[in-house]
Chains A and B, each alone.
Chain A
Amino acid sequence: MSHKVLLNSKEVNITLHRLACQLIENHDDFSETVLIGIQPRGKFLANRLAQVLTEDYKIKNIQLGHLDITFFRDDFRRGDKPLEANTTKIDFIVEDKNVVFIDDVLYTGRSIRSALTAIQSFGRPKDIELLTLIDRRFSRHLPIQPNYRGRQVDAIDNQKVIVKWVENEEEDAVYLVDK
């Protein structure tokens, strides 16, 4: 199985800071903005971004939540494996807020389609943006594009992008591997 490093630890860190700065450009003090990490893997990126915004850029009162999309997916009963639910934790109102969806890899766009439906259960946001660490070009099934992207990659279908976080996988890194 071949391994290609897309981003190493230092590059992940630089990218996180760039994405944080781009968010600040558009969202100022975040008083009208909420960050939503898409479960299961977007949660880690969302937590890290919130940490960077709070600690390095002194943004106070970041509202951060996690959204599970399992029950909104369009492949229920279509795959071999059962879909396993994760926790949703949104303890604030999204009505009239600027929502930023955060996910590690944007691939077919179907997860984001599910998230767009799921978030409606919590109110009507003013607008919704998408931030993704890795954008796999030319692989979309739906007309969905990110507003903020860390790195754009061209990968073929039998390759997989793996994002690791130091919190639970001992390093910050992004790999491209053959399935």
Chain B
Amino acid sequence: MSEKNPEQENLLEEEQKQHRHHHHHRKKSKIKPVIYCVTAFFLSVTLFLTSACAVVELTVFSKDYMLDRMDSSGYYSMVKYELQNRLKNLGDASGFEASFAQNFVDSYDVKKAVQNYIQSFYAGDSTLVETTEFKQQLYAAVQNYAAEKNITLTDEINDHVAYFINEAANIYVDQIAIPFFSVIGVHIVNAQNSVNILLISLGVLVLIIAAVIFFTNEFKHRRYRYLCYGLLGGALTTAVLPTVVLLSDKITRINIATRSLYNLIVSYFNNIFYAFYIPTAVMAALAVVTFVMYAKYYSKYRNQ
């Protein structure tokens, strides 16, 4: 048995200490990546939910979005065309010539009526279409028509004309109003506050999760790596939903008989799904930035 001198003992003790520390450090580094991966996953999910809420906020709850879609899908001119033809059709059953309906329906009046209807809906007012002015204008047009054709408006004919005007007003309401809009609309207006609160909460949650990843990581390259995972995960998740819906062509196969409404609904929903690509692009761009930062700090770390 050889005896160790104190110097040797100290060295051995130091070596054992370092070994224990190193072993402990290795044990810790196995758990940490898992925790940060789960945190990055939560970041990805909250980013996706935030994007979805933001898209809903900027489209479904937006009056301007609806009016913009109406403009882009040619809704006003199509409504005018359909109203004209339906009134001509009613005229065919009521002794009027085709020119009567053609001359009566005015593009500006139709656009104004549709916009009033949409604006009152988003303001939370009644969504009934006002028909008093339409009826008055139509009755004046009938009187002019009768005068041109030398037709005397007897009491009996006036009754028939009143019936015609009421039917025409029903067609007018049918064309100006959007079916089921007042039914669905109530829920949309009521849901707006909840979605606003949800959007703010999710935004705060995103910042908290990002801060946790950023400030609790001891190595800079790892901070950016997990942020990059979260951002890229969020971008992918946000992009998949609209891509699947748009590639399936489901929206274009919706069964709506009225051409104006079909064009509006297809344009409205397609653009909601296209809007998902905006947050996707933002997240992807941020992911690229974080990846560049990760690469920069990782090379520094390796060179140390």
Query: Do A and B actually bind?
Result: no
- B interface, CB within 8 angstroms of A: none
Interface positions of A (Cβ within 8 A of B): none
